[in-house]
Amino acid sequence: MQSRRDWFKSSIGIGGLMLTPSILTAEEIKKYNPRSISSIVKLSSNENPYGPSEKVLNAIKNSFNDACRYPYEFIQELQKTLAKKHDVPIESIVITGGSNEALRITGLAISNKGGNIVAGQPTYLALMNYAEAWGAEIKWVPVDSDKGYDLKKIRETIDQDTNMVFIANPNNPTGTLLNANSLADFCEDISKQTLVFCDEAYYDYINEKDYPSMDYLVRKGENVVISRTFSKVYGMAGLRIGYLVLKPELADDLFGKYSPYGRPNIMAQTNVLAVAAASEALKDTDFYKFSLKKANEEKDKIYKLLDYLDLKYIKSSTNFVFFESKKHINKLSAEMLEKGVRVGRPFPPFYDWCRISTGTSEEVDRFIESMLEVYS
């Protein structure tokens, strides 16, 4: 008699998914730099399993000669490139040591003003945790039944003491994407009342055609801040480089006056090697397209598995999938770790949901094998 796992492997009733990794050629391995399979497959942190690309690695190596220099002038050149990308003045770009640092320094700047921050729950917590630690009040608004932001309730929660509304779109950990028109209307309206922060760490993974970045509101002079990172689609999480886009006068207010040496309130700038890597990554469209293609392929495999196991999930606009585990996340985490797969941490209040990152084909197949055993 066939086991559940063997049946899944051979079944054509679920789309013909086979647990056979897609093999990269020697040239692709050189160009895209996939991480090696390890005894514990880490699919818990939404890291890109590819990269830095060959071109980026060469740029890093070539930048070692500049490692004796302070990074100011190199950062300024990257600012010019990013200003052109977002069609804003160079003073609108604030580069930091990862987008986490951008979030934290914004949280600190807002907490110094007192009042409260309104945010959905669950969401990415770096900004709120830092702001709360420095005295800000956080007013949480639960996601709706579809696990998306409830913009109506967020509007109702804003009061005269609200100094910021935080929106992560696509959201982490749910992977949900707001309706483009609803988001634009919300941000344009609310930014006239208070500051709106849009975390766009996963923006590149959006498959919806012509989905707008909220940077257009920065160009219109609205009180909107967006954050971006090189950690995800560019595969540079370990290099720590991200940035903010906001109107210059708002940047002056939050982070101190602009100068060629940076803004005085930015604590964690990045380094020469990371700047060289980011500058090259922006040119490497081949790796960018490959990275997105592979994330979509592995998400499709995960969806097919979850359909087979009858586990509800959210169609994701990111490089991860949030699914209902039907058991406490701590229990599932322990069971999966025993089989060599590390999954996402708890995201209160959804303790019976799990976030799984897309990995290489081999890594996702390990996840699939392990899930079939755990749910057999």
Q: Which residues contact 183 (CB under 8 A, 6 or more apart)?
A: 151, 167, 169, 214
- With DSSP H G I counted as helix, E B as strand and the rest as coil, what are the percentages for the chain, rounded to 5? 45, 15, 40
Asked which of 281, 316, 333 is the last residue of a domain, the reply is 281
**What are the backbone dihedrals phi and psi of residue 365, each rounded to the nearest 5 degrees, phi first?**
-65, -35
Residue 4: pLDDT band (50, 70, 90) is low
Instruction: Based on the fold, state whether residues 247 and 122 are members of the same structural domain.
Output: yes
Q: Where are the beta strands (DSSP E) in the chain?
A: 41-42, 93-96, 116-121, 137-142, 162-168, 195-199, 224-229, 242-245, 320-324, 341-342, 353-357
Q: Closest by alpha carbon to 230, among 354, 372, 53?
A: 53
pLDDT of residue 20: 58
Instruction: Based on the fold, state whether residues 150 and 22 are members of the same structural domain.
Output: no
State the average pLDDT over residues 122-136: 96
pLDDT of residue 15: 46
Instruction: Based on the fold, state whether residues 41 and 181 are members of the same structural domain.
Output: no
pTM for this one?
Answer: 0.94
State the average pLDDT over residues 44-72: 97
Instruction: Based on the fold, state whether residues 84 and 233 are members of the same structural domain.
Output: yes
The yes-or-no verdict on residue 374 having pLDDT over 70 is yes
pLDDT of residue 21: 61
Residue with tokens 């959006």: 206
Q: Determine the 3-state secondary structure of 114 from DSSP.
A: coil
Average pLDDT, the chain: 94
CB-CB contact of 162 with 115 (8 Å): yes
pLDDT of residue 251: 98
Instruction: Based on the fold, state whether residues 22 and 60 are members of the same structural domain.
Output: no
Instruction: Based on the fold, state whether residues 186 and 65 are members of the same structural domain.
Output: yes
pLDDT of residue 11: 53
% of the chain beyond a pLDDT of 90: 93
Amino acid making up residue 148: G
The yes-or-no verdict on residue 106 having pLDDT over 80 is yes
Asked which of 281, 316, 336 is the last residue of a domain, the reply is 281
**What are the backbone dihedrals phi and psi of residue 342, each rounded to the nearest 5 degrees, phi first?**
-100, 120
Q: Cβ–Cβ contacts within 10 Å for residue 121, how many?
A: 17
pLDDT of residue 269: 87
Instruction: Based on the fold, state whether residues 230 and 356 are members of the same structural domain.
Output: no
Instruction: Based on the fold, state whether residues 273 and 293 are members of the same structural domain.
Output: no
Instruction: Based on the fold, state whether residues 83 and 173 are members of the same structural domain.
Output: yes
pLDDT of residue 12: 35
CA distance 143 to 151: 9
% of the chain beyond a pLDDT of 70: 94
Asked which of 235, 251, 281 is the last residue of a domain, the reply is 281
- The total number of structural domains that make up the chain: 2
pLDDT of residue 176: 98
What is the C-alpha radius of gyration for the chain, rounded to an integer number of angstroms?
Answer: 21
Instruction: Based on the fold, state whether residues 45 and 153 are members of the same structural domain.
Output: no
Instruction: Based on the fold, state whether residues 159 and 247 are members of the same structural domain.
Output: yes
Cβ contacts of 204-209, under 8 Å, gap ≥ 24? 204/232, 204/233, 204/288, 204/292, 205/170, 205/232, 205/233, 205/292, 205/295, 205/316, 205/317, 205/318, 205/319, 206/170, 206/177, 206/317, 207/296, 207/317, 208/177, 208/180, 208/317
Q: How many Cα atoms occupy the beta-carbon half-sphere of 81 within 13 Å?
A: 16
Where residue 220 sits, what CATH number does that domain have?
A: 3.40.640.10
The length of the chain is 376
Where residue 29 sits, what CATH number does that domain have?
A: 3.90.1150.10
pLDDT of residue 367: 98
Q: Determine the 3-state secondary structure of 245 from DSSP.
A: strand
142-166 residue pLDDT tens:
999 999 999 999 999 999 999 999 9
Segments forming the whole domain that contains residue 39: 4-51+285-374
258-297 residue pLDDT tens:
998 999 999 888 999 999 999 999 999 999 999 999 999 9
Measured at the alpha carbon of residue 206, what is the angle toward residues 295 and 74, in degrees to the nearest 5?
Answer: 85
211-264 residue pLDDT tens:
999 999 999 999 999 999 999 999 999 999 999 999 999 999 999 999 989 999
Instruction: Based on the fold, state whether residues 123 and 185 are members of the same structural domain.
Output: yes
